[in-house]
Amino acid sequence: MTSTENLKHRDDAQFATYLATETGKRLVKLRKELVSRGFYGWDLKDAGDAMAQEFLMSQLREHRPNDAVLSEEAVDNTARLSAKRVWIIDPLDGTQEFSEPERHDWAVHVALWESNETSDGALVAGAVSLPAIELTLSTDPIYKTPEKHDGPPRLVVSRTRTPREAILVADALGCDAMRLGSAGAKAMSVVLGECDIYLHTGGQHQWDSAAPVAVARAAGLFTSRIDGSELIYNQADTWLPDLIVCRADLAEPVLAALRKSAR
């Protein structure tokens, strides 16, 4: 088989892993090249977004031409709502961190949502690459989150904003806190066992969490909205503003703290 034929015959999880990894490699190379030429800030952000989107779409058009796509970097095509298979992608999650050459906390997200006769639709494959540290986590092979560590739970929040709900959970559970950039980097820090809880409120879209949630679920972690309801994808409204990713044994304590704070 040629390499093109191999890609067409890879299963969806393997293909997602390929897409996230190869996009990440290209982003690392692009960042080095642009920084060496004196480009920073928005020049890096715009170039990274455009290149990653172009590469991912070229690969999806070639190897999965019958599937729909929902991407942060493209106009939403509502035809996806009647599609059976939809790739949900964030070509460059964490453009701010990407534009700061010393930072590693940015990611590439690739997920596949699929529906069938017995299901209204679910995430069936996903991969998140952390290109600056040359690591891709996916639904196949599954990365099993390490055993619980000694000490208080560790909660990861945004570099720039700490949600009220995260403060309440941290106080209730006696958490240590740390800060990271992109949503993918934060979710993967829980998958990797570097943190125990990622709680976000106040603004995200489906592409921000689809791939991280798929990978986290495969690793045995708990995922939900902050009210405990299910995270649902390929909805008409791309807005999906909050989520929890945490160790399964912390799910009830986290939700209990959130319920108490909502009274």
* CATH code of the domain covering residue 28: 3.30.540.10
Residue 37 shares a structural domain with residue 128? yes
**Is residue 180, in this structure, part of any structural domain at all?**
yes
**Is residue 146, in this structure, part of any structural domain at all?**
no
Residue 21 shares a structural domain with residue 122? yes
**Is residue 143, in this structure, part of any structural domain at all?**
no
| Cα–Cα distances in angstroms (integers) from residue 57 to residues 14, 64, 81, in the given order | 17, 10, 19
- For the entire predicted model, the pTM comes to 0.94
Residue 14 shares a structural domain with residue 114? yes
Here the CATH number for the domain that contains residue 235 is 3.40.190.80
Residue 122 shares a structural domain with residue 20? yes
**Is residue 202, in this structure, part of any structural domain at all?**
yes
Residue 43 shares a structural domain with residue 162? no
Q: Tens digit of pLDDT per residue, the chain (263 long)?
A: 445 556 665 799 999 999 999 999 999 999 999 999 999 999 999 999 999 999 999 999 999 999 999 999 999 988 999 999 999 999 999 999 999 999 999 999 999 999 987 778 999 999 999 999 999 999 999 988 888 888 999 999 988 778 899 999 999 999 999 999 999 999 999 999 999 999 999 889 999 999 999 999 999 999 999 999 999 999 999 999 999 999 999 999 999 999 987 66
Residue 204 shares a structural domain with residue 134? no
Residue 209 shares a structural domain with residue 110? no
Residue 43 shares a structural domain with residue 72? yes
Choose one of 109, 138, 167: the last residue of a domain: 138
Domain of residue 177: give its range.
Answer: 154-262
Choose one of 82, 111, 138: the last residue of a domain: 138
| Structural domain count, the chain | 2
Residue 27 shares a structural domain with residue 115? yes
**Is residue 148, in this structure, part of any structural domain at all?**
no
